[in-house]
Amino acid sequence: MNWPNQNWLDIGALNDIPQRGARVVKTVHGCVAVFRTGDDQVFAIDDRCPHKGGPLSEGIVHGHAVTCPLHNWVFSLETGMAQGADEGAVATYPARIEGGRILLDAKRLIRGAAA
Amino acid sequence: MKRKLVIIGAGMASGRVLEHLLAAEPEGWDVTLFNAEPRGNYNRIMLSPVLSGEKTYQDIVTHDDDFYAQHKINCRFGEAVVRIDRENKVVYSNEGGAPYDKLLIATGSAPFIIPVPGHDLPGVITYRDMDDTQAMIDASDKPGAKAVVIGGGLLGLEAAAGLKARGMEVAVIHLMGHLMERQLDPAAGYLLQKDLEARGITVHCKGATKAILGTDRVEAVLLDDGTVYDADQVCMAVGIRPEVRIATDAALEIGRGITVNDQMVTSDPDILAVGECVEHNAQLFGLVAPLYDQAKVVAATLLNKDAAFQPVQTATKLKVTGVDLFSAGDFADANGREDIVFRDPARGVYKRLVIEDNRLIGAVMYGETGDGSWFFGLIKDGTDISDMRDTLIFGPAYQGGTGADPLAAVAALPLDAEICGCNGICKGTIVSAIEGGATSLADIKAQTKASASCGTCTGLVEQVLASTLGDAFKMPAAQPMCGCTDLTHEDVRRLIKARELKSMPAVMQELGWKTSCGCHVCRPALNFYLLADWPEDYHDDAQSRFVNERNHANIQKDGTYSVVPRMWGGMTNPRELRAVADAADKYDIPAVKVTGGQRIDLLGVKKEHLPDIWADLNAAGLVSGHAYSKGLRTVKTCVGTDFCRFGTQDSTGLGIKLEKRLWGSWTPHKVKLAVSGCPRNCAEATCKDVGIVCVDSGFEIGVGGAAGMDLKETERLAKVATEAEAIDLTVAFVQLYREHAKYLDRPYKWLAKVGLEWVQAQIVEDMDNRAALIKRFDLSQTIYQRDPWADRATPQARADFAPLADLTKEAAE
């Protein structure tokens, strides 16, 4: 994939995140949750459920989705959209793996989701 | 021009009339609805589940304020009608009149009171409406209260079962030789009596009430044979008679009820009547199905359409949870009638068919009633049964050579077989709804009303769905674990053991999971089942645990955590308290609280501080209290013999021993224990999962208490003489629960499924099994009894609990 204007930033090793788990990256706009799925892909979304602010990074990861630990809202890691009957979305951020390292788009992270 | 309709009585029949009428002509009527009860229409046949506590009044409301408002119905609830002025066509209550073009009388019936001395004492009630039900519920609040129910018919037995479920001591007095003699023959009546007695209800047949005794309020019931039953509450349920007083005063034609023709019109052409107050062809009606038929006819008559009421045969079911009986048709002995009888004493099954001229005319079944509606269909249709006579009693599955397919019986039903007795819905109506697009039980309820009243036909409706839709409908009778599988929790647990599945991928592969790696519902359950069944082979999967169990602290609404160190049996000391206070200061803890389980909760800890605060508390000898786990939480104790002048045993010491033995074990849901040193029960042991009450002669062990979403007293598992035995039984009970319960079932829910007797057979009577369970528990503890805090006071854990990266220092461009 090829985004213009990107500034890929190495934020850690893939193995720093357990399979079907997540870690957070702190930014001035709040935390971003970086997920590693069972098939070793990485996704980055806002670490804040739009429902009651639950930390999505602490949710159970299944397939390419995560369940919020507070009230079981389920979000797609690919689109950030709430699944099922719930409505809402979280911002997603470009993420990729290169040589066992996780890369995030620093510009997006620093500018925040609104950019 | 709207026509004025006045209705006297907001009962089930008139409610159904309104539905039909307003569906056909939403704007055609100006309706005034009088009701003597200060409330609108509710499902009267569901009062029994309200009495027993299985439902609430809100659950059984059929028409709420919104319905009345939406249809602009003028509700005059709490107003009894005092006069009908037929000449001027006005109905009067004490509050004023209401003119009508058409009047519908739906006054229902009044309970019959036997005029014995004392029948008017306070505490003697009938069982007819919500007020009666509430009075019985209130009476049951008093601990040890006793109730006498006079009348062993449908209503009386439902009242008795409900009062018993509320914890009252109940005796049923019945005049006839066996219970429900109008619906059951003596053999089925016997089985019913046996079932009720097994629940602790006293049944006194051939009992004639002579007097109700008491001075200011009821105290006892005296029978002709001299027997006296103490009573705080007497419920008279001996029968009902049509409520016709207002119609009599208006000089309408009355027999036993208000006489109506086939169009449900009374002797006054502008007055109709419906429900239990009417008499049609010299017949009265008490069950709901014919009343609903009448309601259809009333609506049609009001709409000037042709319709005629024709009573049909009705079948009876008793709405007492766990009692399965069915009766239909005529089953009296008579010349020319033959019986076919099937009995299975071991299972308490009894079936009797009555045949006359090669036709089935009656059926009584007890203990197994699944084929009831098929037999009922044969009775209604007058089917010639000569060809299937040999196998008739075995039901439709055995007719025409079909095998034992569980759906065959329902698949074989003709389209006009009645499925829902309450609403008179035939299989054909349900099948049409399915062909019109209905695919679920909820669709069927919404479109046909089948199973929307008492609900006992829900299973049949589901089977019709299954047999009609084929593979497109999965029988939900077995509630699957989650969307990832069609198997139930119980099936999965069974298969994990039977097929020796020892990893999550093995379970998902072998049992055909529909998702790649499960979901947040099944994964925590599977993780528990696997670690409980294979402690040595399976490795706990942190990513399948809910956040609290993964981070070993309770997540709070703002994303911070609470930390609760263990205080064994609620005991602590200055050194521990200092360590707690120091930690609260050091980590800037916003709230410190004493929990209900006798320990201290530090609230508002940031995730990245968890490993540090744990290390500090560890240094003072404190370990995790597992306040977050589906596992052993606390063992609450009183001070016992050490300090208390009433204590009979060392309850604190026993509590600490139990906590030291059980801590760290994972269980299907949280487990809380308590040990009280005497029956004053200061540790509140009688509402715990396991509660021990010490007495002079030993230890009373109760299990299955609850004081959360439900409130439940423990049931006595056993009484033992020694502390060692008390510990053994507790450990065996916890292990049995670990091995058998469904994930997220507290012990009391699990007990309700398997029964206390089964548990007692496993661990009180079977000493070998008790020892084996204890051995398996101890084996599991060699692996899982570890302080998770100590395990995480490592540099690696500290790193894992911290953010992966901190970009807050990076400047925006």
Q: Which of A7-21, B201-215, B264-278, B483-497 has the lowest mean pLDDT?
A: B483-497
Which pLDDT value is given to residue B325? 83
Q: Nearest 10 degrees: CA dihedral of B600, B603, B607, B609?
A: -60
From A11, A60, A72, residue closest to B804, measured CB to CB = A11
Does B804 sit within 8 Å of A25, measured CB to CB?
A: yes
Task: For the beta carbon of residue B322, count every other beta carbon within 10 angstroms.
Answer: 8
From B543, B805, B812, residue closest to A19, measured CB to CB = B543
Instruction: Report the pLDDT averaged over residues B605-630.
Output: 95
Which pLDDT value is given to residue B206? 85
* pLDDT per position as a tens digit, B499-524: 788 888 888 877 777 777 789 999 99
Does B550 sit within 8 Å of A58, measured CB to CB?
A: yes
- Token pair 């509590």 is at which residue? B655
* pLDDT per position as a tens digit, B649-677: 999 999 999 999 999 999 999 999 999 99
The residue length of chain A stands at: 115
CA distance A88 to chain B (A): 19
Which pLDDT value is given to residue B813? 43
Q: Which of B163-172, B189-198, B759-768 has the lowest mean pLDDT?
A: B189-198
A53: chain B residues, CB-CB within 8 Å: 557-559
Question: For residue B309, what are the CA distances in angstroms to A31, B179, B380?
Answer: 70, 31, 16
The pLDDT mean for chain B works out to 88
**A39 interfaces chain B, CB cutoff of 8 Å:** yes
How far is it, in rounded angstroms, from Cα B75 to Cα B32? Answer: 6
B807: chain A residues, CB-CB within 8 Å: 9, 25-28, 106, 109-110
* pLDDT per position as a tens digit, A22-48: 999 999 888 999 999 988 899 999 999
* Tokens, residue B22: 């307003």
The A residues from 80 to 109 touching B (CB cutoff 8 Å) are 106-107, 109
The helix or strand, by DSSP H or E, that contains position B443, with its residue range, turns out to be helix B441-448
Tell whether the model's pLDDT for residue A1 goes beyond 60.
no
Q: Which residue of A has its CA nearest to B811?
A: A110
CA distance B91 to chain A (A): 50
* pLDDT per position as a tens digit, A54-110: 999 999 999 899 999 988 899 999 999 998 777 889 999 999 999 899 999 988 887
From A27, A31, A67, residue closest to B520, measured CB to CB = A67
- The complex's ipTM works out to 0.88
- Pairing label, strands B600-605, B671-676: unpaired
Does A61 sit within 8 Å of B555, measured CB to CB?
A: no
Does A34 sit within 8 Å of B804, measured CB to CB?
A: yes
Give me the sheet containing A21-27, strands edge to edge.
A92-93, A42-46, A30-36, A21-27, B805-806
Does A62 sit within 8 Å of B520, measured CB to CB?
A: yes
Does B517 sit within 8 Å of A20, measured CB to CB?
A: yes
Contact yes or no for B599/B672 (Cβ under 8 A): no
**A18 interfaces chain B, CB cutoff of 8 Å:** yes
% of chain B at pLDDT higher than 70: 94
Tell whether the model's pLDDT for residue B607 goes beyond 80.
yes
Cβ contacts of B753 within 8 Å, gap of 6 or more? B745
Does A54 sit within 8 Å of B559, measured CB to CB?
A: yes
